[in-house]
Amino acid sequence: MLVEAFLRAFLEVMRWDVLSFMLIGVIAGFWVGLLPGLGGGTTLALMLPFVYRMQPVEAFAFLLGMHSVVATTGDITSILFGIPGEGTTAATILDGHAMAKKGEAGRALGAALASSLVGAIVGAGALLLAIPVVRPLVLTFGSPELFMLAVLGIAFIASLSGRRPRAMLRGFLAGALGLLLAAVGQDPQAGNFRYTLGSLYLWDGLDLVPVLVGFFAIPEIIDLAVRGTAIAGDTPIGRLAGVATGIRDTFRHFWLTIRCSIIGTYIGVIPGLGGGVAQWVAYAHAVQSARPGADRDGFGKGDVRGVLGPGAANNSKEGGALVPTIAFGVPGSSAMAILLGAFLLVGLTPGPDMLTKHLNVTLAMVWTIVLANVVAVGGSLVFLNHLARLTAIRGALLIPFLVLLTFVGAYTANNSPGDMAVMLLFGGLGYLMVRFHWPRAPLVLGFVLGEIAERYLWISVARYGAAWLGRPVVVALLLLTVGVIASALVQYRRVAIGEAPP
Amino acid sequence: MRRPGRPAGRVVFAGGVALLAAWALAQTTGWPIKTALYPRVVGIPLLALAIAETVLSLRGREEEPREAVDVTLSTEVPPRVAGRRTAAVIAWMGGFYLGVLLLGFPRAVPLFVFAYLRIQAGESWVTALLLAASAWLGFTLLFVNLLHVPFADGIFWRLFVP
Amino acid sequence: MRTVLAFLLAVLLGATAAPAWAQATFAGKTVTIIVGYPPGGGYDVMARMVARHLPRFLPGGPTVIVQNMPGANSIVAANHVFHVARPDGLTLGLFNRNLVLGQLVKVEGIRFDMARFGWVGSPATETTILAIRADLPYRTPADLRRADPAVVVGATGPGASTYDFPLLLKAFVGMNLRIISGYRSSGDIMLAIERKEADGRAGSYSSIKPFIDRGLVRPIVRGHASVPAIERLPVDEDLSEDPRAKAVMRLRSVPEVVGRPFVVPPATPAEFVDAYREAFRRMTADREFLAEAERAGFEIKLTPGDQALRTIREVLGAPPDVIRVFSQFYKFD
């Protein structure tokens, strides 16, 4: 029954008019992803008026076609230039851009795109599999569970911090700084202002986009200026290709890619965790699953696994995020909120009906995600080796454009000069952290999870008193958290015994 | 040669973070508990860790820089040249920021691209003009005409053009 | 020297500017709607819908574009339209309907006077309702007064209708509510209701309507502003005998009559204001506009500019003792 409906939905998506709407969407999404100044959510909102006259399946082919390739092509900008193409593709920079600097841009791009495709398929598959069990799947996660998930994510800071005591100290330091920065703005309980310095701009807290753009792009621009070469250094142009190697890498580390896809999907399914989280947790998982010791030291310096993890997760997240949107009419992100508006415009009410009466639309969405990514990745493969050559352009020629993209990319977050100030401030912080060997990933992890932890802890306590601590999922997550920290500590002990500190 | 970062810089940076944490904690006095609890819970360990890092930096022990799970700055360039170039690119970015505030985005963009290419990169007039023009065109078409992003007029125009 | 230069510039530009219009025409012009929120929310969707339809009703059929200027719940945008935007009739502003309450309780950062904007009007109202899970035995306000244990109401935070509306009902009507605040969005509260973490929530009727239709929650009580579908629901201020309590609840909900307030900068020539008012009047009666608005879930009900301004003045002219009580409960955010 479901299989037959699934196949029928495929035929529906393959109708030429639907397919052409999807292609238009994919082409638009391609550019939206590449350009740092263009966010997926904003563009969806701009495109919304066009769907008034479309059929539901057409409308979602168009919107979802666009939305589901944004994270895919956002990775390209992150890898090539070290500027996050999207807020959700910043984690790819750490190893992806490091690879580009080693002259392995083609390989990094191949890995990012192949893992994106895997992620998209896993995400779409999850959407499909979730259909029968969607209610328990989403509803087991109440506020206490969300709080524990945030804590678990924060615990990953331990494994992102390096091996020796000093490196760990700096990792935790960076993580705590990120947690504190999350406190800027109105507090979620009483609505009082914290650290707003009398500025209206800071009422809403620090915006993730200018923070990430400055934090990652500015140090790379400075480094590029210092080296005085092209991004890929002196690597001969002929060696920049390597897309095929990157694709092979994806299959060499297939289980990692799949695991990170599942992490992304799961984070997407749970509304309330926010879009920035999945990539960083996946990155942390990629680091953590490497063998402690030398195997782990390559991360941040151009380890392909650091590309595969976030590459897969930021795509699979989107399929997952559709689950609560479709099944409950509750969006998990701003982009999903806009998509929800599209449902109403084409005359559908999201909710249980989407899994019965309008099942064909839901299944068509699954197909759209898969097909849009196949088209985007397939189309990109043709250009990738050419794109990789961009890293051979003289740095001096590139820098003004990178600066321009960085500024515009930050400014368009809120169309406010405050965005640029935040971007520059975090650019400075990022540069100093890199210079003095403080890891940046823990700071971002703390920053994106701190607000969630605070919010849901208050709700849990206010709603359940102390009883929430006894909930089975909470206990399970607590044990998992202890496990994550313990494994980091055990490995530190092993290192301490095995090697004398320098 | 590796640039481990002069001890002075490390100390100042870690000390600065410690001061920031101390300031953040001091601010919480007088806040209701619902507002103050979170910043206190994360601020106290931050302060402790930052002080520890400052003290360790003062004692001057630096480990293998590859330890951090993050990129490292390139080290092929002699420190003196690197310092000069760093200062230059930071000045350029600061200049662009001022340009945007004073003249507004649409005018600052071509000006910056042109000035950087001509003065810093030493490109020919033709290349610099051509690239500046294309930067302006792409910027205007996409962000001004298509997306209607509101770019504020620069302070200059607000002051001198009524 | 500088003053001379500025003077010369002024003369030069003044000479090239067109003389004052006798009647507003928009031919060949671009009208900008500045929205105080990022793309995608209710205010933005409304602005974009108006931008598509308004040209048909303005003389000369201008291009109408939307610019987003988010920040501080649209205080940033309102300050901009009040002080920076030129009063040339080509800028419209669309802000948070509760800015006037913010002005009333003197929120820091507000540098405008709502009563001095040129009021075009509001094409829609927003009704706040309290809805409780349909599987619970509560059907009337009296049921909620008697409720035991307390009914858990999920809320975002102070300043939002999800919080203020039940807070006033609890304080002045004596409903036994336990308000759990801190949810990120009204959608997240809805999910909390699904998993029985919360028993209900307050919010705009248009946002809760799909869940009422689906049978998840049932509406119990509404605020002052209304639309036909829920006209017969009990009104919050009728549930209290105390005149001051009534006045405070009225104050909270009056701005909802002006649900999507469109304004022009102060000092915009009257002929433009008139042209916009007339255009809004015809637009909100237009069949095409109405059909689109219904699909987008808006409660279309025009509050004309003069009436909107009267409402704003009514709020700002509230007696000091009412403002004092109101300030204890209300916190703009």
Average pLDDT score, chain A? 88
The rounded distance, in Å, linking the Cα atoms of C61 and C65 is 13
Chain B residues with CB inside 8 Å of A397's CB? 117, 121, 123, 131
- pLDDT band at residue A399 under the 50/70/90 scheme: very high
Q: Do C65 and B149 touch (CB under 8 A)?
A: no
Q: How many beta carbons lie within 10 A of that of residue A357, not counting itself? A: 11
> Coil, helix or strand for A427?
helix
Contact of C9 with chain B, judged by CB distance below 8 Å, is answered with: yes
Residues of chain B with C-beta less than 8 angstroms from the C-beta of A403: 92-93, 96, 112, 116
* Size of chain C, expressed as the number of residues it contains: 333
Between C212 and A45, name the one with better pLDDT: C212
Check residue B135 and give its pLDDT: 95
The per-residue pLDDT for B153 is 82
What is the maximal distance between C-alpha atoms in chain A? 70
**What does the block give as tokens for A12?**
């529906």
Q: Which residues, other chains included, contact A356 with Cβ-Cβ below 8 Å and sequence gap of 6+?
A: none
SS3 C32: strand
Confidence of residue C12 (pLDDT cuts 50, 70, 90): very low
Map residue A302 onto helix, strand or coil. coil
Q: Look up residue A106 and give its amino acid.
A: G
**What sign has the CA pseudo-torsion A31, A36, A41, A45?**
negative
Q: Scanning every residue of chain C, which has its alpha carbon at the shortest distance from the alpha carbon of B145?
A: C65
Encoding tokens for residue B108? 């600052």
Do the strands C200-204 and C151-155 form a parallel or antiparallel pair, or are they unpaired? parallel
Residue type, C323: I
CB C268 within 8 A of CB C88: yes
**Residue C269 binned pLDDT confidence (cut-offs 50, 70, 90):** very high
CB contact under 8 A, C190 and A328: yes
Mean pLDDT of B97-104: 94
Query: pLDDT tens digit string along A363-384?
Result: 999 999 999 999 999 988 888 8
pLDDT, average across residues A307-319:
92
ipTM above 0.90, yes or no: yes
Q: Report d(CA B24, CA B155) in Å as an integer.
A: 32
Over the stretch C147-171, which tens digit does the pLDDT of each residue have?
A: 989 999 999 988 888 999 999 999 9
Strands C177-181 and C151-155: parallel
CB distance from C128 to chain B under 8 Å?
A: no
Report the chain C residue with the minimal C-alpha distance to residue B153.
Answer: C84
pLDDT class for C1, splitting at 50, 70, 90?
very low
Q: What digits encode the pLDDT tens for the residues B41-92?
A: 999 999 999 999 999 988 876 655 556 778 888 888 899 999 999 999 999 9
CA atoms within 13 A on the CB side of B30: 5
- Residue A498: what pLDDT? 53
pLDDT digits (tens, 9 = 90+) for A157-196: 887 877 778 888 999 999 999 999 999 998 888 888 999 9
Scored b (16 or more CB within 10 A) or e, A278-299 reads: bbbbbbbbbbbbbebeeebbbb
Which tens digit of pLDDT belongs to each residue from C294-304? 888 888 899 99
User: CB of B66 within 8 A of CB of A300?
Assistant: no
Give the mutation candidate from A83, A92, A222, A299 for the B interface (greatest B CB count, under 10 A): A222
Q: Which pLDDT score is estimated for A274?
A: 66
By three-state DSSP, how is residue B60 classified? coil
Is A189 an interface residue toward C (CB < 8 Å)? yes
Higher pLDDT, C249 or A138: C249
Residue owning tokens 């940046």: A440
Residues of chain B in contact with residue C6, where contact means CB-CB under 8 angstroms, are 160, 162
Contact C219, C130 (CB under 8 A): yes
